[in-house]
Structure 1
Amino acid sequence: METTRRVVLAGGSGFLGRSLAQVLEARGYEVIILTRSPAPGSAREVAWDGRTLGDWCARLEGAVAVVNLTGRSVDCRYTLENRREILSSRLDSVRVLGEAIRRCATPPSVSVQAASLAIYGNSGEAVRDESSPPGEGFSVDVCRQWEQAFAEQRSPGTRQVLLRIGFALGRDGGALGSLARLARWGLGGTVGSGQQYVSWLHLDDLNALFLRAIEHPSMHGVYNATGPSPVTNAEFMRTLRHVLRRPWSPPAPAWAVRVGARLLGTEAELALSGRRGLPQRLMAEGFQFRHTDLSEALEDLLGTRHAPAAAKSASA
């Protein structure tokens, strides 16, 4: 099979995958989405289970890149069953993609793995870059095993890039929509102490990072895929209220967050923990973020200046 401008998105039917697929197609790539529930008759959606080899493997042959976005959402109660699924969904997909790549006569030029800044744990005010050690806890343990599994899938014909993604802000999915609804309902106050850091980035910049990982042969290894201007939760919520033209909202103390999380079927640590991540490697390599001011980014996404996301150059 001849090399094409094909990019395979594993687990590409979610929030990040849908947005990235649009950007890739606008740049002339053929996009193939590996999903457990392909749309009937879809030419670009291909069935896979995220665990076993199958007919989908042929789509990797001669591809430009494979991007793995697979992983069960962590927005749930951390029961034993959910913990197992959170971990297995990540490890299984990494390993089966690695096996499929090794079987290719013409393997993808690059394998891009989506990971998480959660590897640094609840790190308080300490700045965390790619050289910082992991933190502690369940989420950290998942991230460590996840990254180790990816590192073990080395193939001589395929460059590897791992992106530790922060809090991605977008219009059509992710957590920002939920936070905006709460703020509009008068529930957009500071969460817990408000001192936990939010390492955010605009979805346009995240898509540009994916494109850069695909198109720049010099990019390899682990990168913090987050913006250069992390803020505290108190500042984030204050800015969100300002952009939405909402008055002061009552703070949500930690005990109330824990009660609310249990009622909503999620974990309080998702809101009460934070990390002050910086994209040190990207900045050293000259990557230019388009959105570095939180107020401007939120206004772009939630304010009056709504415009469809366009394909941006991934050039530094």
Structure 2
Amino acid sequence: MTTTPNPRRVVIAGGSGFLGISLAHHLHENDYEVVLLSRSAPKCDGPWKHVAWDGRTLGNWKNCLGGALGMVNLAGRTVDCIKTPDHQDEILRSRVESTRVLGLAVRAIDQPPPVWVQMGTAHIYGDPPKAICTEGSSLGIGLAPLVGKAWEEEFHTAKLPAQRGVVLRTSFVVGRNRGAGGGALDRLSLLTRLGLGGRVGSGKQGFSWIHEHDLNRLFQQALTQDSMQGIYIASAPNPVSQVEFMQALRDALGVRFGLPAFAWMVRLGAPWLLKTDPNLALYGRYVRSERLPSEGFTFQFPEVGPALKNIVGRAI
């Protein structure tokens, strides 16, 4: 990988999954050169260069960072799994260790990127009642908040003092399948088409979400707008309840009904049938950014209904 300075190069660490591929396409369409830094090459072809790393140890991969406009760190094991002790350990370690080694990398090259945009999680607020959380709200307790806090703490330690750092505490991302999977929306859409897209548990749990296009625009703004710095919530300004989200998804898919699932059914079925954590469906949060509107960011998809119809329409 060349180390020639390129003010249009963006390196996406952990970029071979749904979010990384979506962002790579967006950046390429806006005339940026994209480098994906990941353990394995993406499953689909695209307008990027791939550089291999293990997310833990420093190596020659560091050279792709030299002279780049900026770096985006998305690296981390998926949370869409059964939370065994081993999986919990890997969820934490994969985020903290990848962030730590990126910090070592920027100290080992001559021209580190001037900006580092770090993925965070809106799960850091835990599972509060319907009160809407903003950037200044108290953080929660439990596995997800613990991971989120450790992730951000490592980022603040790892980034260079001279680097502009931006953390995006991201909610549920709705997007289309570009060959790397469409994220969790693919699974929800399948369940909905099977008639299982109804109320889960109480249905009142918060469902904060963001359209992939708005998230990509937000990443680009974070990379290029010098005034952006610190922590932001990356979520559409109109969070909804779980039952409202599923109604909007059924409308987008043209499905007339969705069977409800009681909490005990989800606790039994999620680990055995879907191989995932039932708490992902049974708990939630309502989040909204106070900082983004005050800094001039406008969402193109502020409402869940039009957002889902756009995704479904483009995926057909």
Q: TM-score, structure 1 length as denominator?
A: 0.93
Listed as ranges, the matches of 1:299-310 within 5 Å are 299-303=309-313, 306=314
Whether the aligned pair in 2 keeps the contact of 1:107 and 1:157 (CA below 8 Å) is: no
1:190 and 2:199 aligned? yes
CA shift for structure 1 position 268: 0.8
The structure-2 alpha-carbon separation of the partners of 1:39 and 1:75, relative to structure 1 and needing over 3 Å to count, comes to closer
For structure 2, the residue ranges without an aligned partner over 5 or more in a row are none
Listed as ranges, the matches of 1:7-22 within 5 Å are 7-22=10-25
Partner amino acid, structure 1, of 2:172: F
Whether the aligned pair in 1 keeps the contact of 2:17 and 2:42 (CA below 8 Å) is: no
RMSD (Å), alpha carbons: 1.7
Which runs of structure 1 show a deviation greater than 3 angstroms over 4 or more consecutive aligned residues? 39-43
The structure-2 alpha-carbon separation of the partners of 1:294 and 1:25, relative to structure 1 and needing over 3 Å to count, comes to same
Whether the aligned pair in 2 keeps the contact of 1:162 and 1:222 (CA below 8 Å) is: yes
Q: TM-score, structure 2 length as denominator?
A: 0.93
Q: SS of the counterpart of 1:277?
A: coil
| Distance of 1:307 and 1:213 partners within structure 2 | 28
267, 289, 296: which one aligns with 1:258: 267
47, 53, 57: which one aligns with 2:58: 53
Q: 2:143 maps to which residue?
A: 138
Aligned length: 306
Percent identity over the alignment?
A: 47
**Bigger mean CA offset, 38-47 vs 170-179:** 38-47
| Distance of 1:287 and 1:102 partners within structure 2 | 32
1:105 and 2:135 aligned? no
1:249 and 2:252 aligned? no
For structure 1, the residue ranges without an aligned partner over 5 or more in a row are 309-316
Q: CA deviation digits over 1:102-157, x for unaligned, max 9?
A: 22211101001111000000112011011011111111111111111111123133
| Distance of 2:135 and 2:303 partners within structure 1 | 22
Q: CA deviation digits over 1:261-285, x for unaligned, max 9?
A: 1212211110011111001110111
**Bigger mean CA offset, 200-209 vs 255-264:** 255-264
CA shift for structure 1 position 2: 4.4
Listed as ranges, the matches of 1:99-248 within 5 Å are 99-172=104-177, 173-248=182-257
Partner amino acid, structure 2, of 1:286: G
Q: CA deviation digits over 1:49-84, x for unaligned, max 9?
A: 000011110011111011011000011111111111
**Bigger mean CA offset, 245-254 vs 205-214:** 245-254
Whether the aligned pair in 1 keeps the contact of 2:172 and 2:209 (CA below 8 Å) is: yes
Whether the aligned pair in 1 keeps the contact of 2:176 and 2:315 (CA below 8 Å) is: no
CA shift for structure 1 position 38: 2.8
CA shift for structure 1 position 307: 7.6
Partner amino acid, structure 1, of 2:269: G
